[in-house]
Structure 1
Amino acid sequence: MSEHRAVEKSENLDHFWAVIPAGGAGTRLWPLSRQGSPKFLHDLTGNGRTLIQATYDRLAPLAADRMLVVTGRAHRDEVVAQLPELGADAVVAEPSARESMAAIGLAAALLEARDPDAVMGSFAADHVITETHAFRAATATAVEAARAGWLVTIGIEPTHPATGFGYINVGAAVDGVAGAFEVREFVEKPSVEVAAAYVEAGYRWNAGMFVVRPGVLLDLLAEQDPVFTAALRGIAADPSTLAAVWPTLPRIAVDHAVAEPAAAAGRVAVVPGTFGWDDVGDFASLRTLLGGDDPVTVLGDRELVRTVDADGLVVPHGGRMVAVVGLRDVVVVDTGDALLVTTLERAQDVRAIVAALKQDGHGHLT
């Protein structure tokens, strides 16, 4: 068995289920990431494993054969092909995108019926995490707190005052669970000045990682929207109703549907994460992630890239030579059928191109 698939039995957590929501199109990474081939299906680190495969790799020692992937219908076959270890029955296909609460809530309803002692951890398929042993240690602490009835998140230690992430206001230590703390509140993406104050005050980044007993999550949702909860439990009881019921479910993120109101009620805990984390949200983030000492970072075949007095990121996936002369902080992404040229500073604005293409009738390129 290869090293990246080795299961460390000593780390296996009883009744812990790893849930991997695999959705979204990653529009800020267009044209590399698209609706038909989103970023979690790509190797963005150059290590030979796609992001969803890397997610499986770091969770396998904890959950062994207890995993559930929730993805879009259009991506199900590719997910099954990339993760043959799981088996097709562990990959649930959403009929359409309904935001994270529907996907995670459906997984919770299925696991509630399948394993009364289950604790589930939801971890996005498209994040990059280093120091995997520290990640698994934090997850184990989160599972302990979840068994005690808490909705638990893993908070990332900020490396800079980022404006693209939400933050977690950390409170007092949780009684009886070493390493867990109460969440005072979740706060939305701040300005640079506010983000700097948050970092100084010890806030954590909200990476959207949640660990909880399935019944606790669904009961918390029921306090806000009992009809939504009943629909999810109904699908779990009769999966043949999925196609009919799914389009009626609200479009809402789990943070807004459950985490924020639960935090206001004092029912959310946070476990500080001491590992490296990146959501690879745009090409500037990707360039930082790939690192290296060369002025121009290349993701792909370096023999296809020539530069003179330039720096930035080049992705030569079109099979042809890419030459860059005299440009600073440039981003060039060539996929053969589309070419993106922008700057690292404007990397967040790439999604505007995707919106424009759809509006102009070029949806086949998105």
Structure 2
Amino acid sequence: MTGQTRIIPVILSGGSGTRLWPMSRPESPKQMLALTAEETMLQLTALRVQDKARFADPIVVANGAHTEMIETQLAKVGVTPQALILEPLARNTAPAIALAALAAPDPASPLLVMPSDHVIADEAAFEKAIAAALPLAAEGWMVTFGITPDAPETGYGYIKIGEPIGAGVHKVARFVEKPDRATADAMIASGDHAWNGGIFLFRADAFLAALAIHAPAMLAAAQEAMAAARRQGTQIHPDAAAFARSPDDSIDYAVMEKAERVAVVPVAMGWSDLGSWDALHAISVCDADGNVCDDNVIAIDSSNCLVRTDGPRVALVGVEDLIVVVSGNDILILPRGDSQKVKQVTEHLKAQKA
């Protein structure tokens, strides 16, 4: 890889969106929403890698049902993907990344793989981490970015940071499944663990070579799907029957936990996966009473609440620690701190439709 080779951003936008119900739904998932700024999460992700001296146009891998929405949102912020790969069905992150790696114009291209629905508040820190990771990626290492933890979260996987192998880069000692609270406390206290944020940098050919060793059936299915793909402008429609033969697996399980040359760059960059309404409250600017409210909200003698509404006026009087979300005809009300229980609502609604 020459020093002039630009990084290809790979933006993964296949999520169906349930954890931020009722605003996030399968037809309009989290990445399509404007939750932290005027731009949507997808737009913010694409804008993060617009330095043309460093980054090529992105490859976007998305749910085929969201084609028009994605093209419209990206066009609004002046981003034109070099390829929009439209998955005929969901097969998790590893097959999605395989499609992108096969679509890369140069097998030696470094791919920066990013979910489309994460918050990165300190973009300068992210850029420094990418610069630290790039020399190792050029040599064929697969690099992940370990988020400096600020709490013993049990909802994230962790990475144990091993020996240093470059400036700001370490070997991965091991990946750790989502822990219980006692294990998370111990890992935080040890000071040598980071959250697994699901952001990666590696050469396209290095990832495909790792798949050939550790997940050959997945590689074969992706190759067949791309070989028989229908192409229309920048759109790539992989063959559905071939892609359906791929195992459904994440990049961590399929490759990262098994490969030999895996490195981590620890970084504190104001990261959040925005996985719940509580997470949105945590990263938002609160008023003097700890509330995060839309303009169309009245809060009287109320504190530490999050209220989002897409139209109807909401009034709070004498309450605290509530999450209230109004979207169309649906209203969610639950105690702050319990927003992971939204999953119970979406499961109930799914069962009703079954």
1:101 aligns with 2:101: no
Distance 1:297 1:69, change over 3 A: farther
Larger mean CA deviation between 82-91 and 208-217 belongs to 82-91
Q: Distance in 1 between matches of 2:66 and 2:293?
A: 23
Which residue among 343, 346, 354 is the counterpart of 1:351? 343
Distance 1:82 1:243, change over 3 A: same
Q: Distance in 2 between matches of 1:148 and 1:89?
A: 25
1:153 aligns with 2:144: yes
| 1:242-263 deviation line (CA, Å, top 9, x unaligned) | 222122211111111111112x
Task: Tell me the equivalent position of 1:6.
Answer: none
Residue 13 of structure 1 contacts residue 140 of structure 1 at CA under 8 Å; is this kept in 2? Answer: no
Q: Distance in 1 between matches of 2:300 and 2:90?
A: 41
Distance 1:87 1:66, change over 3 A: closer
Q: Distance in 1 between matches of 2:74 and 2:169?
A: 32
TM-score, normalised to structure 1's length?
Answer: 0.88
Q: Distance in 2 between matches of 1:199 and 1:357?
A: 37
Task: Tell me the equivalent position of 2:320.
Answer: 328
1:187 aligns with 2:179: no
More helix by share: 1
1:282 aligns with 2:276: yes
Q: CA RMSD in A?
A: 1.8
1:77 aligns with 2:68: yes
What code does the residue aligned with 1:49 have? Answer: E
1:212 aligns with 2:202: yes
Task: Tell me the equivalent position of 2:233.
Answer: none
Residue 44 of structure 1 contacts residue 299 of structure 1 at CA under 8 Å; is this kept in 2? Answer: no
State the 1:13 CA deviation.
6.6
Structure 2: gaps (5+ residues): 231-237
Q: Distance in 1 between matches of 2:127 and 2:59?
A: 18
User: How many pairs are equivalent?
Assistant: 341
Task: Tell me the equivalent position of 2:234.
Answer: none
Which residue among 292, 298, 323 is the counterpart of 2:292? 298
Q: Distance in 1 between matches of 2:134 and 2:323?
A: 41
SS of residue matched to 2:291: strand
What code does the residue aligned with 2:124 have? Answer: H
Residue 36 of structure 1 contacts residue 75 of structure 1 at CA under 8 Å; is this kept in 2? Answer: yes
Residue 306 of structure 1 contacts residue 321 of structure 1 at CA under 8 Å; is this kept in 2? Answer: no
TM-score, normalised to structure 2's length?
Answer: 0.91
Q: Distance in 2 between matches of 1:244 and 1:303?
A: 48
Residue 59 of structure 2 contacts residue 81 of structure 2 at CA under 8 Å; is this kept in 1? Answer: no
Task: Tell me the equivalent position of 2:246.
Answer: 249
What code does the residue aligned with 1:269 have? Answer: A
What code does the residue aligned with 1:108 have? Answer: A
Task: Tell me the equivalent position of 2:48.
Answer: 58
SS of residue matched to 1:351: helix
1:225 aligns with 2:225: no
Structure 1: gaps (5+ residues): 1-11
Identity %: 36
State the 1:295 CA deviation.
2.5
- Spell out the pairing of 1:86-165 with structure 2 (5 A cutoff): 86-87=79-80, 90-111=83-104, 114-165=105-156
Task: Tell me the equivalent position of 1:39.
Answer: 30
State the 1:296 CA deviation.
5.1
Q: Distance in 1 between matches of 2:125 and 2:65?
A: 34
